[in-house]
Amino acid sequence: MPMSEYYKNMRSKVGSELLFMPSVAAIVRNENNEILFIRKSNETIWGLPAGAIEIGETPAQAIRREVYEETGLTVNPERIIGVFGGDKYKYEYSNGHKVEYLVIMFECSIIEGILYALDGEAEELRFYKQDEIPEIAIPYPKEIFDRELNKEKTLFE
């Protein structure tokens, strides 16, 4: 989905300056335990299905919406596997917009759907084995990708 009206309004006031952005991201695994990554148009590095939490939306609603819009998959958030933020989570988009994310990371199970970028943002969608993860835009700790390491506790930095 293109930028929401809320964020369009914010951008009209601050331009490309830094915005603090509460957001969600998903670890979505297929039946082979591979993790889903997306590469957006005009970007060279990969990311997880993710996006901003909208006004009035719960984090669980946001992750379901974002994963569906970006991948065509309906998912169920199973648990929170990490909460991340701070200076490391600043990012500048190719259009110059700057953000600092506060990310709630969910592990999600696939309910149904066909892998397809419904919102047109993703140029490529692909599942990767845990030991073949591509270069990603946001510096999440590597432990979030290892189901065995993070199954008993939520990760924080």
Does residue 12 lie within any of the structural domains?
Answer: no
Which of 100, 122, 97, 113 is CA-nearest to residue 45?
122
Per-residue pLDDT of the chain (157 residues; tens, 9 = 90+): 568 899 899 999 999 999 999 999 999 999 999 999 999 887 889 999 999 999 999 999 999 999 999 999 999 999 999 999 999 999 998 889 999 999 999 999 999 999 998 877 788 999 999 999 999 989 999 889 988 877 778 888 7
Domain of residue 78, residue span: 22-156
Residue with tokens 């432990």: 143
What CATH number is associated with residue 134? 3.90.79.10
Does residue 17 lie within any of the structural domains?
Answer: no
Note the pLDDT of residue 44: 85
Buried-state track 29-41, b at ≥16 Cβ within 10 A, e below 16? beeeebbbbbbbe
Dihedral, 139, 112, 61, 142 alpha carbons, nearest 10: -20
Q: What is the pTM of this model?
A: 0.91
**Which residues are CB-contacts of 109 (< 8 A; sequence separation ≥ 6)?**
28, 29, 75, 76, 78
Note the pLDDT of residue 1: 54
How many domains would you assign to the chain?
1
Does residue 96 lie within any of the structural domains?
Answer: yes
Does residue 137 lie within any of the structural domains?
Answer: yes
What stretch of H or E contains 92? strand 90-92
Which of 96, 76, 100 is CA-nearest to residue 22?
100
Does residue 119 lie within any of the structural domains?
Answer: yes
